[in-house]
Each structure stands twice: as structure tokens, then as C-alpha cells.
Amino acid sequence: MENNEEYLKELQKLIRRVEIRSKRMASELFSGEYHSSFKGKGIEFSNVREYQYGDDVRAIDWNTSARKHELYVKLFTEERERTLLLVVDGSASMQFGSRERSKKALALELSAVLAFSAIQNNDKVGLLVFTDRVETFIAPRKGRQHVLVILEELFRFKPLSRKTDINAALIFIRYALRRQSIIFLLTDLVDNDYEKGMKQLNTRHDFVLVHLSDPLDKALPLSGLLDLEEPETGLRLTLDGGSRRKIERYRSEQSRVYEELRQRLRRMRIDSVFLDTDRSFIGELNSFFRYRERKV
């Protein structure tokens, strides 16, 4: 009982530290960019005013104009409220990290910043965590307390499966989200056959793929024998890390795989962000938001 209470206290401290850092980043760096990158669902009628030279004649409110015997135009405001759904890969490969943090830790940090950016814009935030099945779903709601519930779930999450099935999550989302939403999928893409599901969601929602990787996913160090294990299957492989030729072949092959992925996503018109565990995501996320502002 005492150990459990200590664990809860430490968890609360950890969540509080993440909250403070993420709220500051959301306020200082991303809140305005998030707002302008993801427009509201449409426009709604707000008020009327007298016609002024240069106003669009299509905005004239003829009923009001007839009643007041003067020309009046309709005013509209953006229907701002949106829904942000964070879709986080919880499979075993996400626990890998060769430097200071794992892919899972990077996903948590980014989720926190995006969630606080959303609630500062009065948007709803929800969470879906998946492996080869949907393991957790927290329906979108507003407010700081709800974001803390989401962060606690991400900290506490212990997967029932080690494997990945992205399509299982995408199918669930198609039925769970009836209204147009912003969807951030955070994953290392250790899977196949997800393209169709992504394209289907992308036609209805603002869909963004955030690809998370570790330096060792792209290049191996020149060393002795390397004992490698595939985290989702347990398959083991011993590689001669002292061979420059083999190390270079691995780097070249991974570079080809990543470039093919980028090209495939461009052809699918999927907005994507590529992040590494050994680097800050601030620059990449800012660049993405600037791109989105130009796009919308």
C-alpha cells in the first residue's frame, strides 16, 4: 500500500513537470500556429451591419435591407471548435531508445504539447492507444483536467500485445469520429498495409502522420558483434558491427526505405512530420505548422 502511494505521488510529480513544460511550449511556440494551421469546420452567422463601399454584394442581407430601407450585409465568424484525436502507437518497438529517450517518451511529450495547444484554442482532445488492437480510447472533451487524464493514461499504459496493426486503429476511428476532426497518428510505422486506411481518413479529416525514429533505426555504430532483437517478435540477429561494408550497406538500405516512405506519403497526399528521439521536435513542428498555414 505504501509503495503504491509513493508511486502515485511520483507519477503526479512527473505529470506536473510535463504539464508545466508543455503548457509553456504550447503558449509560447505553438498555440497560435496550431490555431491558424487547422481552421474551423466552417462559418456561422454572427451579425449584420450597414453596407460599406467595397463590400461583397453576395453578403447583402436582403430581408434586413428591405425592413430598414438601407443596405445591410451579413457578418460571419469562423466556427472554431474542433476535435483533436491523438492516436499513439503503444507496441513494443515504441519502447526502444538508444539515447536519452525512447520513441514512447517522445510520443508522450509531443502529445502533451499538442493537447495543451488544442485546449488553449477551446478544442476538444481525445486519445487512442493501439498495438495490434485498440487498447485505450478516451473520448474527446475539453479542459485541462481532461488533458491530465490523457497524460496519466499515457504514463501508466502497459500494452496487452507487443505487435502493431495500424489499420485496426484506423478502422476504429472511422466509426468513432462522425464529425470532421484533427487526427495526429504517432508511430514508428513498424507495420504494413495501412495506406488504404490512411487515405480514407485523410479524405474526411485533417490527418497528420508523425513518424518517430531512433538513430539506430537509420545507422549502426562501427563496433564488434552486435546482438539485435526485433522487439515485437523476439527474433534475434547477430551482426558483425566491425565490418564497414555491412554497416554502410545497412545505412544505405535504411536511407532508401525512408526516402521511399516519404515519396509514398507525398503521392498519398498525407501530411507528415518526421521526428528523431535524439533531437528536439520544436523546429520540425514549427516548420510543419508554417507549411499547414500556407496550405489552408
Own/partner long-range contacts of 176-181 (Cβ < 8 Å, ≥24 apart): 176/128, 176/137, 177/83, 177/85, 177/205, 179/41, 179/83, 180/41, 180/204, 180/205, 180/206, 181/82, 181/83, 181/84, 181/85, 181/140, 181/205, 181/206
pLDDT band for position 296 (cuts 50, 70, 90): low
- The average pLDDT across 55-64 equals 82
H-helix or E-strand spanning residue 289: helix 282-295
- Quote the CA–CA distance of 111 and 86 in Å, as a whole number: 7
The more confidently predicted of residues 42 and 210 is 210
Residues 163-188 have pLDDT tens digits of 999 999 999 999 999 889 999 999 99
276 pLDDT higher than 70: yes
CA 295 to chain centre: 18
* Neighbouring C-alpha atoms within 13 Å toward the C-beta of 156: 14
For residue 46, the model assigns a pLDDT of 61
- The average pLDDT across 265-294 equals 93
pLDDT band for position 96 (cuts 50, 70, 90): very high
The per-residue DSSP string of 180-194 comes to --EEEEEE----SS-
Instruction: List all residues 6 or more positions away from 137 whose beta carbon is below 8 Å from its beta carbon.
Output: 126, 127, 128, 129, 172, 176
Burial 140-156 (b: 16+ CB within 10 A, else e): beeeeebbbebbeebee
Q: What's the CA angle centered on 91, arms 86 and 195, to 5 degrees?
A: 65
80 pLDDT higher than 70: no
pLDDT band for position 240 (cuts 50, 70, 90): confident
* pLDDT > 90 in the chain, percent: 57
Q: Which of 182, 189, 210 is nearest to 110 (CA)?
A: 210
Cβ proximity of 275 and 108 under 8 Å? no
Cβ proximity of 102 and 95 under 8 Å? yes
For residue 38, the model assigns a pLDDT of 81
Q: Which domains occur in the chain, in start order?
A: 25-37+81-295 (3.40.50.410), 42-79 (no CATH)
195 pLDDT higher than 80: yes
In the block, residue with C-alpha cell 436582403: 62
Cβ atoms within 10 A of the Cβ of 15, count?
17
87 pLDDT higher than 80: yes
- Quote the CA–CA distance of 145 and 19 in Å, as a whole number: 11
Residues 209-223 have pLDDT tens digits of 999 999 999 988 888
- The average pLDDT across 40-47 equals 57
The more confidently predicted of residues 151 and 232 is 151
Mean pLDDT, the chain, integer: 88
For residue 243, the model assigns a pLDDT of 84
Work out the end-to-end distance of the chain between its first and last CA atoms, rounded to an integer number of angstroms.
Answer: 53
78 pLDDT higher than 60: no
In the block, residue with C-alpha cell 484506423: 170
- The average pLDDT across 257-285 equals 95
41 pLDDT higher than 60: no
Cβ proximity of 197 and 167 under 8 Å? yes
Task: Give me the residues paired with residue 88 across strands.
Answer: 129, 186
For residue 74, the model assigns a pLDDT of 80
**φ/ψ of residue 108, rounded to 5:** -65, -45
The more confidently predicted of residues 292 and 197 is 197
Instruction: List all residues 6 or more positions away from 102 whose beta carbon is below 8 Å from its beta carbon.
Output: 94, 95, 96, 214, 277
- Quote the CA–CA distance of 106 and 84 in Å, as a whole number: 18
259 pLDDT higher than 60: yes
Residues 99-154 have pLDDT tens digits of 889 999 999 999 999 999 999 888 999 999 999 999 999 999 999 999 999 999 99
